[in-house]
């Protein structure tokens, strides 16, 4: 099987003065993985079926005017500054899928301690008031126009360039902390990212530094990231673990590797030794370039899952638009957990029924979206089910971390 080579001089120029989309889909650099008409048809079918059933599930129509519109639900209210806040008590909760502001290559460093007037989400339904039409019953990115998605690509590009990303400057520890408080969450896992760039690629180090400097360090759970084609990844991972990293984040599409690559398999072995769970970006989101979609097909995750049954694997976004394949993996393999960021409410209810609430983990994908977008769905589908609510919001995360730690003590 042909694998993509390291980024060369031509690819670097394309990256530095183009966009992350150019990195993902550089001319002449396909993934080398099979991507069939059946794969394309499955993605088209998922989108079509989702559109047809939206609003027709047991919860009915779930459309709101922006994120602020979620205040129509009995769980939320608007603060005097018109930001959303939780109006009820919830069990102890941890968001297992967040990030800080991204500044790579030529972009200036972000002051992660800064508090800004508002968080500019990558996909922001609250930029205007009233906000955009926001449907809780579809995969989250389906709510956004082509113009909004084009702006997302532009923001990703700016995060590489000397002026940096305007949205990224609001993706600070201080802003996330304020949102954790507003949503009554105890903590958040901050997922690092190692893209594999020739320089300026130190997000894990920067984000761990910011957490360690913060008076609220105990509210954040750092996850490290290493690139399988980085010759020094093993030493880096050991150092991150020694600093307190509780897991590893890998994004096969953005990092351009297949989860079943031999180099990646070595990372899972080291995670087993260190007792670190692995959270993948799992499945196709449907808005990425087609050239990188093969990396995220769930069939490429299964060899890792089966080869390392003691490693706890979290499939981010519950497999995204490949949710059916991710569900099948969770049903078959006990070391698979589904992190639910972005899934629609009816789909989430279906996952609870099919695999059990005890296999689902809360995630928001902040700062792509606010915590409330996922929290609203969890509260809706667990109404009258307090044990399921407690499990998804925090209890399952505690069990997952304990299981991973037990692996470390046994090796």
Domain boundaries, the chain: 9-410
| CA-based nearest residue to 356, from 321, 399, 403, 297 | 399
Q: Can you tell me the distance from the alpha carbon of 378 to that of 94, in angstroms, rounded to the nearest whole number?
A: 13
pLDDT category of residue 409 using cuts at 50, 70 and 90: low
Query: Mind listing the pLDDT tens digit for each residue in 144-172?
Result: 999 999 999 999 999 999 999 999 999 99
Backbone φ and ψ for 252, nearest 5 degrees, come out as -55, -35
Q: Can you tell me the distance from the alpha carbon of 251 to that of 259, in angstroms, rounded to the nearest whole number?
A: 9
Global confidence as pTM: 0.92
Q: Can you tell me the distance from the alpha carbon of 106 to that of 85, in angstroms, rounded to the nearest whole number?
A: 36
Give the CATH number of domain 9-410; options: 2.20.25.90, 3.40.50.20, 3.40.50.620, 3.20.20.140.
Answer: 3.20.20.140
Backbone φ and ψ for 191, nearest 5 degrees, come out as -95, 110
Looking at residue 411, its pLDDT comes to: 59
Query: Mind listing the pLDDT tens digit for each residue in 78-119?
Result: 999 999 999 999 999 999 999 999 999 999 999 999 999 999
Helical residues (DSSP H) of 34-166, grouped into ranges:
37-53, 146-158
Task: Give CA separation, 139 vs 40, 49, 117, 152, in Å.
Answer: 17, 11, 28, 17
Query: Mind listing the pLDDT tens digit for each residue in 313-351?
Result: 999 999 999 999 999 999 999 999 999 999 999 999 999
CB 366 within 8 A of CB 191: no
Q: Can you tell me the distance from the alpha carbon of 215 to that of 277, in angstroms, rounded to the nearest whole number?
A: 26
pLDDT category of residue 74 using cuts at 50, 70 and 90: very high
Average pLDDT along the chain? 92
């Amino acid at each position: 099987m042909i694998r993509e080579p390291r980024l060369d001089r031509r690819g670097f120029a394309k990256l530095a003065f183009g966009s992350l989309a150019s990195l993902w889909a550089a001319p002449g650099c396909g993934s080398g993985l099979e991507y069939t008409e059946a794969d394309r048809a499955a993605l088209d079918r998922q989108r079509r079926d989702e559109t047809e059933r939206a609003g027709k599930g047991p919860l009915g129509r779930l459309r709101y005017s922006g994120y602020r519109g979620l205040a129509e639900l009995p769980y939320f209210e608007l603060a005097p500054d018109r930001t959303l806040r939780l109006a009820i008590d919830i069990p102890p909760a941890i968001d297992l899928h967040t990030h800080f502001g991204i500044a790579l290559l030529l972009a200036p460093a972000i002051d992660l301690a800064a508090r800004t007037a508002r968080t500019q989400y990558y996909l922001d339904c609250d930029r205007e008031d009233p906000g955009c039409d926001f449907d809780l019953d579809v995969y989250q990115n389906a709510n956004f126009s082509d113009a909004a998605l084009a702006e997302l690509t532009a923001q990703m590009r700016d995060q590489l360039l000397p002026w940096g990303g305007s949205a990224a400057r609001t993706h600070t520890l201080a802003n996330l902390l304020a949102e954790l408080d507003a949503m009554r969450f105890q903590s958040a896992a901050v997922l690092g990212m190692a893209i594999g760039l020739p320089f300026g690629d130190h997000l894990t180090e920067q984000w761990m530094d910011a957490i360690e400097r913060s008076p609220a360090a105990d509210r954040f759970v750092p996850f490290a990231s290493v690139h399988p084609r980085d010759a020094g990844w093993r030493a880096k991972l050991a150092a991150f673990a020694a600093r307190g990293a509780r897991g590893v984040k890998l994004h096969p599409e953005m990092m351009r590797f297949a989860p079943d690559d031999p180099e990646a398999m070595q990372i899972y072995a080291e995670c087993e030794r260190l007792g670190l769970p692995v959270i993948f970006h799992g499945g196709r989101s449907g808005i990425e370039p087609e050239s990188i979609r093969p990396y995220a097909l769930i069939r490429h995750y299964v060899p890792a899952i089966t080869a390392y049954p003691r490693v706890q694997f979290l499939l981010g976004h519950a497999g995204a638009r490949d949710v059916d394949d991710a569900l099948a993996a969770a049903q078959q393999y006990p070391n698979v957990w589904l992190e639910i960021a972005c899934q629609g409410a009816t789909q989430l209810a279906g996952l609870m029924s099919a695999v059990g609430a005890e296999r689902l983990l809360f995630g928001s994908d902040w700062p792509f979206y606010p915590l409330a977008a996922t929290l609203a769905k969890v509260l809706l589908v667990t109404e009258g089910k307090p044990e399921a609510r407690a499990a998804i919001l925090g209890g399952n995360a505690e069990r997952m971390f304990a299981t991973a730690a037990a692996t470390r003590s046994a090796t």
